[in-house]
């Protein structure tokens, strides 16, 4: 095997003893403690570590673990075997106390910048739970997580949530329907389709100033992301409407709010123009699994949706993409949806989890044999999403009004850290701003400010309990390997590399 193509994985944590864990075949471990080496670290490797670290978000515990894996062309750190090896090494790190409050420092607001900041992480471990940002999940792996006993699933998801996020901070979003009714699609759950006889009547697109006034009210009430939805299949050749929407995006962005749109299918040029106008995120849900999708919608293919997501991602816009529970799907379909999301080239910035709000006159609204979605269904889906996409915001979306405060708290504990609030969630009711603020006060939550990144996890800062495993890539000859690594001589240096 060509050793010049070796992938050297270096996990940075504090250890006082050598790891005795059994690693997967093909891996070797070397834990460097104060007594194990006196070699000097090479300047090139030192530069690599510093450049991929964050001075604002130093982590608590540092062990130097070397995991050698020889590969030909695979540059993915976070495959299942690498994560397993990291977890084995992290298991022998010392347990330290956990702070209860976090720093005022914030991570980057862009999900891509955050992901780049932590690109050299393999995993995080706390309380015997290990998590990692992976893109090679199998359906079977996700199914095993989804089907855990509820108490165990909640424990793991809550722990993962606290390893990557400050659980006290919840994003507040407002969704306004700027074009209601008259959609030509046949989505069997939607009251806005012309194919269904519902209470919703077609309305013209709202005027720019009307939308900006609604955005102003939302900001005054505490919302920090303003989302605009239009009931149509695609932007297509709606040039005049698109011009007005670009003005809306510019105007809302000028207010200091983050801006999101859901406008159906987009081509690459339209996505580029929205980005230039200041669009923060674009919502385009997959709704359900690829297998169940044809039972719900026939006028737009699953591939159409994936293509729009790709156009949005390629334009540099954050992707908001999730699904709906209560479409007559099975648990395997819920797992299938999460599998598609978790294996995208980039995980969505946010994943909205919706409970179907049944509307009389729609095919699904008129069916009596579809089980109603309960709080445990929502919590199980949110918890699984949190575990398989730990750096993604999970949004508690449509249907929230049907759940009690206690049930919503269970969903926050499962890993939800974003909500829709306000008085108009497309065409279904949503809690008033005052009620949401009362709930936040009751639960001790604070809203995430607009255009500011999330607060880091207090458990992953200095003095915290999170053990972080990082990687450094280097091609070198094995005979010189020990000359490349050394334990920093002080705690401050350890924190710099962690």
Residues catalogued as catalytic: 183, 187, 190, 227, 260, 320, 395
Specify whether the CB–CB gap between 380 and 353 falls below 8 A.
Answer: no
What's the CA gap between 36 and 30, in Å, rounded?
9
Question: Quick one: CA torsion of 245, 250, 254, 256, rounded to 10 degrees?
Answer: 60
Helix (H), strand (E) at residue 409: helix 405-414
Number of Cβ atoms within 10 Å of the Cβ of 22: 10
> What would the DSSP string read from start to end of 147-179?
TS-HHHHHHHHHHHHHHHS-TTEEEEEEEEEEE
Radius of gyration of the chain (CA): 24
What's the CA gap between 309 and 332, in Å, rounded?
23
What's the CA gap between 258 and 483, in Å, rounded?
48
Helix (H), strand (E) at residue 259: strand 258-262
Cα 116 to Cα 72, 100, 112, 321, 498: the distances in Å are 23, 27, 6, 21, 15
Burial of 303 (0-12, 13-18, 19+ CB in 10 A): exposed
Tell how strand 29-32 and strand 63-70 pair up.
antiparallel
Cα atoms in the 13 Å half-sphere on the side-chain side of 466? 30
Q: 256-287 burial, b if ≥16 CB within 10 A, otherwise e?
A: ebbbbbbbbbbeeebbbbbbebbbbbbbbbbb
Question: Encoding tokens for residue 57?
Answer: 């978000």
> What size, in residues, is the chain?
498
> What would the DSSP string read from start to end of 333-348?
HHHHHHHHHHTSSS--
């Amino acid at each position: 095997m060509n050793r010049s193509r070796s992938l050297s994985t270096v996990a940075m944590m504090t250890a006082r003893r050598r790891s005795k864990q059994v690693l997967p075949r093909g891996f070797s471990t070397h834990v460097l403690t104060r007594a194990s080496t006196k070699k000097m670290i090479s300047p090139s490797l030192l530069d690599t570590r510093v450049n991929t670290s964050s001075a604002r978000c130093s982590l608590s515990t540092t062990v130097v673990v070397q995991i050698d894996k020889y590969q030909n062309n695979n540059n993915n750190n976070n495959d299942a075997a690498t994560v397993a090896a990291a977890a084995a090494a992290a298991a022998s790190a010392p347990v330290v106390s956990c702070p209860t409050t976090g720093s005022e420092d914030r991570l980057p607001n862009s999900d891509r910048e955050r992901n780049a900041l932590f690109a050299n992480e393999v995993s995080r471990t706390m309380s015997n739970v290990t998590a990692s940002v992976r893109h090679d999940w199998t359906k079977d792996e996700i199914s095993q997580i989804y089907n855990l006993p509820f108490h165990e699933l909640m424990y793991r998801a809550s722990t993962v949530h606290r390893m990557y996020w400050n659980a006290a901070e919840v994003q507040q979003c407002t969704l306004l329907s700027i074009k209601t009714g008259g959609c030509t699609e046949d989505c069997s759950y939607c009251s806005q389709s012309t194919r269904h006889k519902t209470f919703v009547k077609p309305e013209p697109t709202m005027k720019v100033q009307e939308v900006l006034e609604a955005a102003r009210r939302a900001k005054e009430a505490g919302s920090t992301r303003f989302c605009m939805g239009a009931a149509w299949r695609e932007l297509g050749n709606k040039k005049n409407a698109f011009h007005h929407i670009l003005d809306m995006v510019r105007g809302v962005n000028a207010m200091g709010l983050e801006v999101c749109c859901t406008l159906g299918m987009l081509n690459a040029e339209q996505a580029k123009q929205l980005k230039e106008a200041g669009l923060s995120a674009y919502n385009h849900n997959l709704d359900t699994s690829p297998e169940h999708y044809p039972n719900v919608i026939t006028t737009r293919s699953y591939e159409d949706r994936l293509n729009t997501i790709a156009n949005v991602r390629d334009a540099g816009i954050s992707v908001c993409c999730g699904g709906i529970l209560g479409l007559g799907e099975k648990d395997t379909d819920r797992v299938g949806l999460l599998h598609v999301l978790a294996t995208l080239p980039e995980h969505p910035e946010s994943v909205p989890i919706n409970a179907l709000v049944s509307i009389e006159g729609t095919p699904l609204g008129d069916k009596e044999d579809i089980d109603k979605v309960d709080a445990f269904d929502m919590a199980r889906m949110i918890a699984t999403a949190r575990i398989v996409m730990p750096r993604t915001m999970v949004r508690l979306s449509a249907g929230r009004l049907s759940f009690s405060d206690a049930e919503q708290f269970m969903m926050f504990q499962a890993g939800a850290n974003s909500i829709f609030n306000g008085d108009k969630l497309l065409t279904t009711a949503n809690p008033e701003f005052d009620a949401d603020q009362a709930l936040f006060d009751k639960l001790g939550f604070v809203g995430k400010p607009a255009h500011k990144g999330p607060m880091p996890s207090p458990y992953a800062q200095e003095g915290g309990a999170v053990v972080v495993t990082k990687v450094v890539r280097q091609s070198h000859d094995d005979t010189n390997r020990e000359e490349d690594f050394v334990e920093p001589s002080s705690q401050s240096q350890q924190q710099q590399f962690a």
